[in-house]
Homo-oligomer: A and B are copies of this chain.
Amino acid sequence: MAEGPDVTRIAQLIGDPARGAILSALMSGRALTAGELAREAGVTPATASGHLSLMSEAGLIWPRKQGRHRYFALADDDVAHALETLASLAASKGHLRTRPGPRDDKLREARVCYDHLAGRRGVQLFDSLAGRGFLTINRENVALSQLGRAEIGKLGVDVAALESNSRPVCRVCLDWSERKSHLAGSLGASLFQRVVELGWFHRNVGARDVTLTPIGERAFDAAFPV
């Protein structure tokens, strides 16, 4: 014993129902206020406040003061990645939250994973880029190929700007509903932002699912063919 990172502490924080609900809500990628998160978790503001300060201190979430509100967001995509991995494991072991409502199907089709696209459409995007040779492996993980760098530029994403940033451009994230990879990292975020700008997807306020618009239906398939 006494070697390495303390998995227990992090898992303990995630492993409380109220805190789990809060983190799930933040997986939408939006910053939410303490009150909203309290309602989401089904606890009083007082209780939620305690949870939020614990998780902030642990570095899982990132508090931001703004007027008389305090907004909270996931600290970074490392946290989002860990949560998605746990969700994937839970799904494969059959640990589903009871009462899978009708919204479940919509989530499987397309949803936000922190700041990028997930679900069937997220996997389609990744598969399309990979299948056409836009992505390649480098010593880190996944990276844009020369071909990909040129093609992605045509979609209106400033690749050079992403690469000048310290955040990894490409990361893979295991999709819990599809059990395949989808694209995270700054490129994943930018591509998602772009398809929303283009009006292909519509983000439902306060929810995690996103819907493909009629225009997007054709355009997305054309831009990201499998």
Contact = CB atoms under 8 A, between A and B. Distances in A.
A5 B82 contact: no
A89 to B, nearest CB: 4
Contacts of A91: 4-5
A154 interface: no
A31 interface: no
A115 interface: no
Contacts of A5: 87-88, 90-91, 95-97, 176
A53 to B, nearest CB: 15
A79 B7 CA distance: 13
Interface stretch (A14-22, A158-166, A191-199, A213-221): A14-22
Given A10-B90, A86-B11, A3 B100 contact: yes
Interface in A114-144: 126-127, 130-131, 135-142
A180 B143 CA distance: 13
Given A11-B15, A13-B15, A137-B136, A97 B6 contact: yes
Interface in A42-88: 42, 58-60, 75, 78-79, 81-83, 85-88
Interface of A: 1-17, 20-21, 23-24, 40, 42, 58-60, 75, 78-79, 81-83, 85-101, 103-104, 107, 126-127, 130-131, 135-142, 172, 176-177, 180-181, 208, 226
26 contacts: A1-B21, A2-B99, A2-B101, A4-B100, A4-B177, A5-B87, A5-B91, A5-B95, A7-B14, A7-B20, A7-B83, A7-B87, A8-B17, A10-B93, A10-B95, A11-B11, A11-B14, A15-B15, A58-B95, A78-B92, A79-B89, A86-B86, A130-B139, A137-B137, A139-B180, A172-B172
